[in-house]
Amino acid sequence: MDFKSLLIGLGIGLVISLIVYIWQRIGRSDSEKKSKTEIARLKNMLADRMDIESEGLKKIKAENDELKKANENLRITNAALSQKPGRAEVQRLQIYQQAVDRLVINSPGFGAAWQSALKESEEEFAKTYTGTQAFWKKILPGKTNAKLISSSDVVDEQD
Average pLDDT over residues 27-33: 83
Question: What confidence score (pLDDT) does residue 136 get?
Answer: 60
CA distance readout (Å), 116 to 20, 99, 102, 106: 116, 17, 17, 18
Average pLDDT over residues 14-33: 88
Top-confidence range, 14-18, 74-78, 127-131: 14-18
Label residue 138 by pLDDT band (50, 70, 90). low
Average pLDDT over residues 72-97: 80
Question: What confidence score (pLDDT) does residue 115 get?
Answer: 77
Give the rounded percent of residues in the chain with a pLDDT score beyond 70.
79
| Beta-carbon count within 10 A of 59 CB | 10
Q: pLDDT tens across 44-63, in order? A: 999 999 999 999 999 999 99
Closest to 122 measured CA to CA, from 114, 62, 158:
114
| 25 has a pLDDT exceeding 90 | no
E strand intervals along the chain: none
With residue 102 as reference, give the H or E element that holds it: helix 87-106
Helices 131-139, 110-127: inter-axial angle, 10-degree rounding: 70
Question: What confidence score (pLDDT) does residue 59 get?
Answer: 94
d(CA 128, CA 134): 5
| 1 has a pLDDT exceeding 80 | no
